[in-house]
Chain A
Amino acid sequence: MPDLVFEVFRQERKGKPLEHAGSFRAPDERAAEIYAREFYGRRHESEALWLVPRSAVHAIGDFPEEFDKSYRRVDGYSLRAQLREARERAGTAESAPGGRAT
């Protein structure tokens, strides 16, 4: 009988984001609300819940990476080698002022 799947997003405390908390089956939205209250609300563990029918979720899971685009990432450049060269030039290798050498 329960032919719909509902994805549950739960807000733990006011001001925090709603995070995916799990999913369950229910025959319709009315039943889903009753079940969600019992599963996620009876111990006062939730501030708010969003119930989303799985069919309403537009899911994307494939991200082709045919070319190396690592340069687009903020962690794309390693500063380690450049730092080492700079320290060697300055003669301060392995003892960068104010911090550990990386």
Chain B
Amino acid sequence: MSERTDRLLQIADDELFLGWRDSEWTGIAPFLEEDVAFSSIAQNEIGHARALYELAAAELGTTADELAFDRRPDEYRCAPLVQLRRLEWARTIARRWLYETADEIRLDALKRSVDPEIAGIAAKMDREEAYHRMHAEMWVDRLLATKEGSTRLDEAVDELWPYALGVLDDELRPELRRRVEERLGRTLSEVEAVPRTLHEAELAELWKEMTVVRRSEPAGSQW
């Protein structure tokens, strides 16, 4: 597998798993409007995953569905940040915001790629991610506005920080630190990034749920 395809799968897996995790709020988000908007954003992420899988599939001679659902859990390349199950609103917001901040840095780098397909899909994703960032930034401000909210956001960011660093390659991590520290107005601890090669136990659980329908029917079934 080429480095290009490996890279595409990393980002696609990130978007698929984050989309899936965020969709776990459908029906139980803090209030109705947030529920609908949050679910819509989760769906967008899965749409990005599909577009990226399609590019990878063209090179591998397979399909987006097969890449999304027919690999073994240990073959996924998503960052541990998006594997975690954290059904607690401050943690969900902290993860979304950390992911979107890291993703913006990653997309900026990809938009400058000499590969026109990569640069094109990055620019397309970034135009939609801009609204996801608006949403995440709004929630960060809402949490920062109260003492309880900012305490909970701080705890969540501290817990997730090593995972957030793991979304990016080494050379992009200092920029993530700079942006997050500037936004929160505090220094974050020096920690080791949680690498992509690490698979949280939650990944296997989510994989089972995500592929249950796919696995229940023989390959090639038409829906």
Contact = CB atoms under 8 A, between A and B. Distances in A.
B39 to A, nearest CB: 9
Interface of B: 30-34, 36-37, 40-41, 44, 131, 134-135, 138, 142
A25 interface: yes
Interface residues of A, number: 15
Interface in A28-79: 30-31, 33-35, 37-39, 42
A34 B32 CA distance: 14
Contacts of A31: 33, 138
A2 B33 contact: yes
A1 to B, nearest CB: 6
Nearest to A25: B33
A8 to B, nearest CB: 12
A82 to B, nearest CB: 57
A26 to B, nearest CB: 6
A96 B31 CA distance: 65
Contact of B41 (A27, A30, A38, A39): A38
Contact of A42 (B31, B32, B40, B138): B40
Contact of A24 (B33, B40, B41): B33
A75 B40 CA distance: 49
Given A34-B134, A37-B131, A25 B31 contact: yes
Nearest to A31: B138
Closest 10 CB pairs of A and B: A38-B37, A38-B40, A35-B33, A34-B135, A35-B37, A24-B33, A2-B31, A30-B138, A34-B134, A25-B33
